Every structure is written in C-alpha cells, then in structure tokens.
C-alpha cells in the first residue's frame, strides 16, 4: 500500500506542477465512446444479422490495418480530406487513420493484383468531424462494407448490393425504409443538359448532395451565389431533382429529347432500366426509388449510387424520435483500384456500406423505451452451496462443468450465503443453480434449481451435464 501511495503521489506531482492540484481528466477522446456490456449485447445482435446476410451472399472476409500510408489516402476524398486523422511523425513513414474501408480495399486489390473478389469487412473508421453523438455521429465508428470486384455483365452485382440492403433493413425490423437510387452518369448528363460547365460538375454535384439536409432554395443560392452557376442552369437542375419514381420515370427520361441525346445519361438510364428489371425479379421495387436528387458526397463513384433512409413512423411511441440520416449507402466505383495500380489497370467495383452506428442508436433507444431486459452473459448455471466450507466442492463441480462445455459461474467467496447466490442469478438472468450440499454429496446428487419457477430437483451427478444441456437448449 505504501508503495502504491508513493506512486500515486509521484503521479500527482508529475501532473500537478506547483500545487499538485492538476485535474486528471477521466474521459474518452472527443467524439468517441466506450461500449458497456449492455450496449455490446445489442451491437452483437446487429452485427450478427449483418454478417449472416453477407455470408448468405457468399462473401469472404478480409482485414486491413487501422492506419495506411498517408499518401494512400491522398486525393481520394475531395473536400473531406481535411477530416483525416494523421499520426505524429515519430520517424519513419507518415501514417493516417483510415477514413473508410473502400480505399483500403482498393489498395488491397491493387497490391495483391486481385481482379475478382466478393468480400465483406467490418471495422472502425475515423473522421475528425464535429460529432453529433445524439444522432449517432461519432469520430470513431464502425462501417460494415460488402463489395463485389470484377468484370461482370452489367448491373447483376449492383442489383445484389441493393438486395442485401433490403434484406438487412428488413431483418433488423427498423420500420419502413426507402432505398434511393441514381447514377453518376445520369447526374453528369443532367448537368450537361442543364448547361453546367464541365469544370463545375463535381462542385455542383456536392451542392445537390446537400438536398437531404437543406431546402432547394438554399441549395440553389449556393449554386448561383457561391459557385457562380447561371440562374437558368440552376432552375433547370431544380426541375430535374424533383423527379423520383420507378421504371415509368426511367422510360420518360429515355424519351426526353435533350437527355436522350447525351451519351452518358443514355448509358446510365439504360443501366438503370436493367437494374430495375433485376430488382423486380428480386421483388423489392416497392422500397426502391429512382431519385434524381441523390448525389452522394464521395468523389470516387462512377456509376450507380444509392442510399437507404428510414421513414418516420406514424405510430412512433418514442417521445423524441432519433433523427437519423441514411442507414446505408454505396455505389459503383470503377476507377479507384486503377488509381493504385502502377499501370492504371482497372478493376470495376460496386459496394454497400451499412451505417451501423445509426442503426445501433435506434435499437438502443428502443430497448431503453421498452421493458426488455438484455442479458449480457450466456451463463447457463451458477454453482452454489447451501452450507459453509464447500468452496472446494464448488470448484470441483464447476471444473467438471467447464470441461464438459457448460457455461458456468461461481461466486468468488469462500462462504457465500445461498440468498446472495440466488440473488446473483436473478440480477444476471442465469436460469439454473446447481446447489452443492453435504447431504447431496453423500447421496451422489446435485440439487438443480430453476430460478424462474423455484422448482428444485435432485439430479445424479453423472447426469448433471445432460440435464443442464436439456434445460437450457432451445
């Protein structure tokens, strides 16, 4: 103890300067959080649903380092590059924390000359954003990515990505949702038709991307005021971005005299039509909307883009519903791998990223609102004793159970009271208690108690494992 106190005082002195009163700040870094066991239990459910879906679609899994060479990330994220976390130059390579899982995936493909893979990757990514944690936005957060790389016939992998989003959002029972779909080629064709100069395509695209958070009038004034677009062009865009629909809208635009003359737009619309045919076969067009206002922020998309949003529930019992943005998004990026290949060889890719943190926020709030009790362990049985001086017998028994694969706990006390042992089961949801007693030991039995019903039966020791398995299977 003396040594510990000395150490503490030394620490205080180190930190505290003259007065030794420096306040040690006990917190996680801004925009990050710990996950408690209860939160982890909810999160595991969500991960399981997502991984199960990815595996159902035949995906392999890879992992990459949490940091990359700084130059690997350079020039991939447009305006968002300022949000990248850099590591301190401590001698050696210059490193940055990954910003997403897509660029590391493209680097992985180019580095290993892989031209054909279907993989998922679930890992944390890092953005020095202004966190809005109540809305599920953090500086450290998980992404769950599924991507298909390879040269294939058009729109078949793209349709599968949308099917995956549909399956996951349905499985998680998050309520009604809508998956908006568009194509960068249609957007670019639309910009051309509206009279946007080529050099302004990307920046006007960024403005369109803000339509989910800002009204059209504000976006328009940004285009005209800040970005120097003509009022006429902006108004023309304004007409297009109101449009959303299905196959009918695609047909209508394919007939549009101007748009149908634009090569890019025509290509994009043709593929969009094909996509909708495949989505019809999958039976999911009811939740899909071809939406000309969808633009997506990232630079690297080259074809189809999509984003899933949850629709506000009318019968929402939650008092202050979490304001959630998109819960999934993705698209086609046929040029990214080529940016890493020394000879610029391209590997066409399409992928989807599930916005797990927002989904998690919703489910966490739902659990809070309900009375549902979440178990944070899977323990099947507590090994307890009715009398004193039975620690050794408890340890012997629990060792037998562990060796047989039974999930078992014991209180770390020499002589715990039976009541405290039963209370522990109540608190943690352990369904069974195996009670060691002197008489039972003589008789070669263990008393098995069902916590919920208080039923007690004597089970022969050699049958105990089987009995516990039977009573906790389902």
427 among annotated binding-site residues = no
In the chain, how long is the greatest CA-to-CA distance?
Answer: 95
d(CA 430, CA 446): 17
Residues 305-364 that bind its own copies (CB under 8 A): 334-335, 338-340, 342, 344, 346
Whether residue 144 contacts residue 260, with contact meaning beta carbons closer than 8 Å, is answered with: no
Out of 409, 434, 440, 459, name the contact with its own copies by CB under 8 A. 409
Residue 379 as a binder of its own copies (CB under 8 A): the answer is yes
Whether residue 416 contacts residue 389, with contact meaning beta carbons closer than 8 Å, is answered with: no
Residue 236 as a binder of its own copies (CB under 8 A): the answer is no
Nearer to its own copies, 11 or 318 (CB): 11
DSSP states of 245-296 as a string? Answer: ESHHHHHHHHH-TTGGG-HHHHHHHHHHHHHHHHHHHHT-GGGEEEETT---
Smallest distance from the beta carbon of 194 to its own copies, in angstroms? 18
Sorted by sequence, the CB contacts under 8 Å of residue 222 that are 6+ apart come out as: 207, 210
DSSP letter at 137 equals B
Residues 105-124 that bind its own copies (CB under 8 A): 107-108, 110-112, 117, 119, 124
Whether residue 337 contacts residue 353, with contact meaning beta carbons closer than 8 Å, is answered with: no
Smallest distance from the beta carbon of 24 to its own copies, in angstroms? 7
Out of 45, 80, 81, 85, name the contact with its own copies by CB under 8 A. 85
Strand order in the sheet with 408-410: 408-410, 381-385, 432-436, 445-450, 456-460
d(CA 449, CA 321): 42
Out of 88, 213, 317, 454, name the contact with its own copies by CB under 8 A. 88
Q: Which stretch binds its own copies (CB under 8 A): 323-331, 352-360, 362-370, 392-400?
A: 392-400
Nearer to its own copies, 222 or 303 (CB): 303
Out of 48, 71, 242, 456, name the contact with its own copies by CB under 8 A. 71
Residues 431-460 that bind its own copies (CB under 8 A): none
Smallest distance from the beta carbon of 127 to its own copies, in angstroms? 12
Residue set of the binding site: 100-102, 127, 143, 147, 296, 300-301
Residue set of the binding site for L-histidine: 100-102, 127, 143, 147, 296, 300-301
């Amino acid at each position: 103890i003396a040594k510990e106190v000395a150490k503490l005082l030394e620490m205080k002195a180190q930190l505290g300067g003259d007065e030794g009163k420096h306040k040690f700040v006990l917190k996680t870094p801004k925009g990050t959080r710990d996950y408690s066991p209860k939160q982890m239990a909810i999160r595991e459910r969500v991960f399981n649903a997502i991984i199960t879906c990815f595996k159902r679609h035949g995906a392999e899994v890879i992992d990459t380092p949490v940091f990359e060479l700084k130059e690997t990330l350079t020039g991939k994220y447009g305006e968002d590059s300022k949000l990248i976390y850099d590591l301190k130059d401590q001698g050696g390579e210059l490193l940055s924390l990954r910003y997403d899982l897509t660029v590391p995936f493209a680097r992985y493909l180019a580095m290993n000359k892989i031209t054909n893979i279907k993989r998922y990757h679930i890992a944390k990514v890092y953005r020095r954003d202004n966190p809005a944690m109540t809305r599920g936005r953090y500086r450290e957060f998980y992404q769950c990515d599924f991507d298909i790389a390879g040269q294939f016939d058009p729109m078949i992998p793209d349709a599968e990505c949308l099917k995956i989003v549909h399956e996951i959002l349905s499985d998680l029972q998050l309520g009604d949702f809508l998956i908006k779909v568009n194509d960068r080629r249609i957007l670019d064709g639309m910009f051309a038709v509206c009279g946007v100069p080529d050099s302004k395509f990307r920046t006007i695209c960024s403005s369109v991307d803000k339509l989910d958070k800002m009204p059209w009038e504000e976006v328009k004034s940004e285009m005209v005021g800040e970005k120097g677009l003509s009022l006429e062009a902006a108004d023309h865009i304004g007409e297009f971005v109101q449009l959303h629909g299905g196959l009918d809208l695609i047909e209508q635009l394919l007939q549009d005299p101007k748009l149908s003359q634009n090569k890019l737009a025509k290509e994009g619309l043709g593929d969009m039509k094909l996509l909708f045919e495949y989505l019809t076969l999958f039976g999911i067009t009811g939740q899909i909307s071809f939406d000309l206002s969808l633009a997506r922020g990232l630079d690297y998309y080259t074809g189809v883009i999509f984003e899933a949003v949850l629709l506000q529930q009318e019968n929402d019992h939650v008092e202050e519903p979490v304001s959630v943005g998109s819960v999934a998004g993705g698209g086609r990026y046929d040029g990214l791998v080529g940016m890493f290949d020394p000879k610029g060889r391209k590997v066409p890719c399409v992928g989807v990223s599930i916005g797990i943190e927002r989904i998690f926020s919703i489910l966490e709030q739902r659990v809070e609102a309900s009375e549902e009790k979440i178990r944070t362990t899977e323990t099947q049985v507590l090994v307890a004793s009715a009398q004193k001086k039975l620690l050794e017998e408890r340890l012997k028994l629990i060792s037998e159970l562990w060796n047989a694969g039974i999930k078992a706990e014991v209180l770390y006390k020499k002589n715990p009271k039976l009541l405290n042992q039963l209370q522990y089961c109540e608190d943690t949801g352990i369904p069974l208690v195996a009670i060691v007693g002197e008489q039972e030991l003589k008789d070669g039995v263990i008393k098995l108690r069902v916590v919920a019903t208080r039923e007690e039966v004597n089970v022969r020791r050699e049958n105990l494992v089987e009995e516990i398995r039977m009573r906790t299977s389902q």
